[in-house]
Amino acid sequence: MLSEKEGNTNIMVVAVVSVGGIGKTTLAQKVFNNEALNAEFEKMIWLSINKDFDKVELLRTIITQAGGVHGGEKALAVIQPILAATLKGKKLFLVLDDVWNHGAWDDVLKAPLANVVARGSRVLVTTRDERVARGMKAVLPYHHVDKLDEEDAWSLLKKQIILSETDEREIDMLKDIGVQIIAKCDGLPLAVKIMGGLLCQKDKKHREWEMVLDDSIWSISGLPEELNHAVYLSYEDLSSCAKQCFLHYSLLPKTAVFYRDQIIGMWVSEGFVHGNSDYLEELGSTYYKELILRNLVEPNTQYVDQCVCNMHDVVRSFAQFVARNEALATCSGETNIVSKLSGHEFLQISLESKGSESDGLDWSSLQAQKTLRALISVGYINIKPGDSLVHFPCLRTLHIDSAHVVELLESLHELKHLRYLSLENTDISSLPDSIGKMKFLQYISLYGCEQFLKVPHSFVKLGQLRYLNFCGTSIEGIPRGFHALTSMRALHGFPAQVDGHWCSLEELGPLSQLKHLQLDGLENITASSSAAKAKLGDKVHLTDLTLACGSILGYDGLIKEEGCLMSSALRPG
């Protein structure tokens, strides 16, 4: 990686070429995180390249990661020189992960980088297609990730299943069958891990493992490329509810961050989770954990408590192929989006836009989707005056992130069946009073809506509300009568007030089902007796409590002590 072979350029391209699921990204991550390598380069940048990447957004991302400012520029002729200026004279190590064609390098990044970065700079590209490596003029020989040999594959399989020393002894007794199963995985680590996740759900008995080995799915020939045999087996072993949750997960925009509570909220809202209404989130969490145990999704180690996961491209491709007649996941740069939307009615649609506003899909393109039950949109979407939600009478889930949506609010109440409403990081300043008519709403998140100020009085009529997030808004108070929302399980960003026009902490008293609670603005509470009325000590289900209290300075410049008394009174138990 550090050898001098640049020739006439300052930057050398090194390629890792192998089939999907063999560990190309894992290898690249190990290289990228190597301390000795990091010491050699001034800038370390990682870019995941989608099939239908957006040129402008690709440039913006690398500029931001390099510490530069793109200023919202949209023209390639303007933004490429900004990138060149940002990295001029810097020794760069750039990873381009999962590249499907060499256009990301040749058409976008090569020109502004090749002659401005310092000599000794490197590009590490991972790809399934050797033609990409040739097109990028990567140095020969290309690096190929070796398939696992039998012993390494067996060791990896065991690692997915063993929970104790007793387990290891039992599993070693099954090695004869186990090695036959991993032989069908063709040495691919992802396939071995998924089979381990499947076997983890089975009894440690010969008959159980033999049923997996002899499953007819292994012998199906002529499957489309998307239908990986190991993923297929694991999918078929899921319950019907877990299958729906798995397929839904594959629709979430790949580069956006979705938290466990958001995902489970969508599953509950779409009716994938069945059971006692008191424990729907717990049941949803069980499915979430099952997908992790089966290695169908993998926890992102940058986040605690497995609250964010990633889905491997091989697994995602399988799930999207299975759901292709009912669900569409697309990006703004993808061709034929409009024709796909006009030619077929879907139940679920996921849109991702990472470019400029002019690149966003027109809202009107969605209006033919009369049967739509779930719409997930992240990034720009062109919503114009007169655009409406009235065309989506069946919608149960509406998730719009980082877009201008004010024009849609007037028709929000038309969504009679809506359960899940997330308008995070949007430009809204209030919700319409007609929201009180939306009796089925269970989940509302306005996280990051900095302009949001006003909650309508009709809000307290939403008796089925289970989740509410006001974090990152400018809300000053919530209407009195909030105590009626006794189905509430999670409440984030509740603004503490003593003003008689707004509900007080006392109204939290009847909310006995609360499990997660975040209180903001506690510096506004001047008496510990007011805090005690929240009755947090009586909330036996409460597991997470966050108290946000700003400093209150007296005339003498010292922090008043009353806030400390109030915080003490709030502690449950």
Averaged confidence pLDDT in the chain? 89
**How many angstroms separate the CA atoms of 305 and 303, rounded?**
7
pLDDT exceeds 70 at position 562 = no
Do 118 and 200 fall within a single domain? no
Bridge partner list, 122: 12, 93
Do 85 and 194 fall within a single domain? no
Do 255 and 178 fall within a single domain? no
**pLDDT, position 564:** 45
Do 416 and 306 fall within a single domain? no
Domain region containing 485? 339-349+363-375+384-570
**pLDDT, position 355:** 61
Do 371 and 515 fall within a single domain? yes
Mean pLDDT of 341-361: 81
Domain count, the chain: 4
What percentage of the chain exceeds 70 in pLDDT?
91
Do 537 and 558 fall within a single domain? yes
pLDDT exceeds 50 at position 563 = no
Do 113 and 187 fall within a single domain? no
Region of 243 please: left (phi>0), alpha (psi -120 to 50) or beta.
alpha
How far is C-alpha 178 from the chain's CA centre? 34
**How many angstroms separate the CA atoms of 137 and 125, rounded?**
11
**How many angstroms separate the CA atoms of 495 and 505, rounded?**
9
**pLDDT, position 10:** 79
Structural contact between residues 260 and 285, judged by C-beta atoms closer than 8 angstroms: yes
**pLDDT, position 2:** 53
Tracing tokens 């996921």 back to the chain, one arrives at 350
Provide the pLDDT confidence category of residue 380 given band limits of 50, 70 and 90.
confident
- Which residues make Cβ contacts (< 8 Å) with residue 259, sequence separation at least 6? 307, 308
DSSP letters for 440-490: T--EEE-TT-TT--B--GGGGG-TT--EEE-TTS-----BTTGGG-TT--E
In the numeric block, which tokens belong to residue 489? 């399980």
pLDDT exceeds 50 at position 279 = yes
127 to 3, 6, 124: CA distances (angstroms): 22, 21, 10
Is 6 among the domain residues? Answer: no
The identity of residue 430, as a single letter, is: S
pLDDT exceeds 80 at position 487 = yes
Q: What is the DSSP letter of 196?
A: H
Q: What is the DSSP letter of 411?
A: G
Is 251 among the domain residues? Answer: yes
Is 105 among the domain residues? Answer: yes
Do 398 and 511 fall within a single domain? yes
Structural contact between residues 115 and 145, judged by C-beta atoms closer than 8 angstroms: no
Is 322 among the domain residues? Answer: no
What tens digit of pLDDT does each residue of 153-207 get?
999 999 999 877 778 888 999 999 999 999 999 999 999 999 999 999 999 999 9
Taking the alpha carbons at both ends of the chain, their separation in whole angstroms is 58
User: What CATH number has the domain bearing residue 130?
Assistant: 3.40.50.300
Is 334 among the domain residues? Answer: no
Mean pLDDT of 108-131: 92
In the numeric block, which tokens belong to residue 61? 């991302």
Do 456 and 529 fall within a single domain? yes
Mean pLDDT of 466-479: 93
199-229 residues labelled b (16+ CB within 10 A) or e (exposed): bbeeebeeeebeebeebebeeeeeeeebbbb
DSSP letters for 54-67: -HHHHHHHHHHHTT
Mean pLDDT of 226-248: 94
**pLDDT, position 565:** 41
What tens digit of pLDDT does each residue of 490-542 get?
999 998 876 667 788 888 999 999 999 998 887 777 666 566 777 888 889 99
Do 88 and 228 fall within a single domain? no
Domain final residue, candidates 195, 221, 236: 236
**How many angstroms separate the CA atoms of 491 and 284, rounded?**
18
**pLDDT, position 500:** 66
Domain final residue, candidates 168, 202, 236: 236
Q: For the chain, what is the total number of helices (H) and then of strands (E)?
A: 20, 18
Domain final residue, candidates 192, 208, 236: 236
**How many angstroms separate the CA atoms of 272 and 284, rounded?**
9
**pLDDT, position 223:** 75
Is 84 among the domain residues? Answer: yes
Q: Identify which has the larger pLDDT, 44 or 167.
A: 44
Is 141 among the domain residues? Answer: no
Do 245 and 226 fall within a single domain? no
Burial class (CB in 10 A: 0-12, 13-18, 19+), 267: buried
User: What CATH number has the domain bearing residue 477?
Assistant: 3.80.10.10
Bridge partner list, 492: 469
> Most distant CA pair in the chain: distance in Å?
81
Region of 176 please: left (phi>0), alpha (psi -120 to 50) or beta.
alpha
Is 144 among the domain residues? Answer: no
pLDDT exceeds 60 at position 7 = no
pLDDT exceeds 90 at position 404 = yes
**How many angstroms separate the CA atoms of 42 and 271, rounded?**
50
**pLDDT, position 237:** 97
Q: Identify which has the larger pLDDT, 293 or 7.
A: 293
Bridge partner list, 80: none
284 to 131, 136, 200, 306, 350: CA distances (angstroms): 43, 45, 20, 14, 21
Q: Where are the beta strands (DSSP E) in 252-347?
A: 298-299, 309-310, 327-331
**pLDDT, position 566:** 45
**pLDDT, position 180:** 96
**How many angstroms separate the CA atoms of 197 and 206, rounded?**
17
- The residue length of the chain stands at 573
Do 220 and 247 fall within a single domain? no
